[in-house]
């Protein structure tokens, strides 16, 4: 049987591009999102376009029984998950740390840490039966360089880096690898609408003068999720056009003049 991948937050954007990338290589694809109808539509699209088995699931955040039921159903379909790509995230709200509601703060952690932990653990049990597999976290360069008024989001993304390394160390003996992709800015619809209001040109923001397309993140996820990275675990791949490589973006320097 061909290999399989489960991708969360995969009904559009980066997640859907990741699902497509694996489908192109013949993987069976399982799609998770909080909207079952949208998951089904995305799975149907992949099946029709690439001819691979695809199925959608509704994922309930921080509901361990839901997570277990999903992986039990995948088993009933005759599959064990080879690769898990954890793309879904809670962005939280932009708020000064002194004022942020503690429940809102914990909601971000429940999704980005707690729920991702549940997903990874259930997937790992599948992978142990196949003598190995790969877990890929889509985190953010905000895990390293924080953004103002995003304490919960940035700190949770940083915590993912440590969690991934822990999985790499704890589960390496089972042939399970765990790695992180750290995107910077991505050309989403939201980005395009905000760009019209930007004061400074994009070439000043990254050393290469461009930011990522969905496919750039998908290619990085495929590298970590496939056998192409069979000797890589506990690692991070930054896909941000060089934003983290420079001390201060040129766009900020313009403000100092």
Strand partners, 55: 30
In CATH, what number is assigned to the domain containing residue 79? Answer: 3.40.50.720
Distances (CA, A) of 70 to 22, 29, 246: 20, 13, 42
- State which H helix or E strand residue 156 sits in: helix 151-171
Q: Are 176 and 129 in contact (CB under 8 A)?
A: no
Rounded to whole angstroms, how far apart are CA atoms 257 and 252? 10
Q: Which two tokens stand for residue 159?
A: 């915590």
pTM: 0.91
Domain range spanning residue 96? 4-256
For the segment 117-141, what is each residue's pLDDT rounded down to a tens digit? 999 999 999 999 999 999 999 999 9
- What average pLDDT does range 142-153 have in this prediction? 86
- The count of structural domains within the chain is 1
Maximum CA extent, the chain: 63
pLDDT tens, residue by residue, 89-110:
888 777 767 778 888 889 989 9
Query: Mind listing the pLDDT tens digit for each residue in 153-206?
Result: 899 999 999 999 999 999 999 999 999 999 988 877 666 666 655 544 455 678
């Amino acid at each position: 049987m061909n290999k399989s991948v489960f991708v969360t937050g995969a009904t559009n954007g980066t997640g859907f591009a990741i699902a497509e990338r694996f489908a192109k290589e013949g993987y069976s694809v399982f799609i998770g999102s909080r909207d079952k109808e949208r998951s089904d539509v995305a799975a149907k699209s992949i099946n029709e376009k690439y001819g691979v088995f695809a199925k959608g699931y509704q994922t309930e955040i921080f509901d361990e029984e839901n997570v277990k039921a999903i992986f039990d159903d995948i088993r009933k379909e005759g599959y064990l998950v080879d690769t898990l790509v954890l793309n879904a995230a809670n962005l939280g709200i932009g708020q000064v740390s002194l004022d942020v509601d503690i429940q809102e703060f914990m909601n971000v952690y429940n999704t980005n840490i707690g729920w991702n932990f549940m997903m990874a653990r259930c997937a790992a049990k599948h992978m142990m039966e196949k003598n190995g597999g790969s877990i890929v976290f889509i985190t953010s360069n905000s895990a390293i360089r924080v953004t103002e008024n995003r304490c919960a989001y940035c700190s949770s993304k940083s915590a993912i880096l440590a969690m991934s390394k822990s999985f790499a160390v704890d589960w390496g003996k089972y042939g399970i690898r765990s790695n992180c992709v750290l995107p910077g800015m991505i050309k989403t619809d939201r980005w395009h609408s905000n760009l019209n209001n930007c004061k400074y040109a994009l070439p000043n923001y990254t050393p290469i003068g461009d930011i990522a397309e969905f496919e750039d993140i998908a290619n990085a996820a495929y590298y970590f999720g496939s056998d192409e990275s069979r000797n890589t675990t506990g690692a991070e791949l930054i896909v941000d056009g060089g934003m983290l490589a420079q001390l201060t973006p040129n766009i900020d320097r313009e403000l100092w003049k």
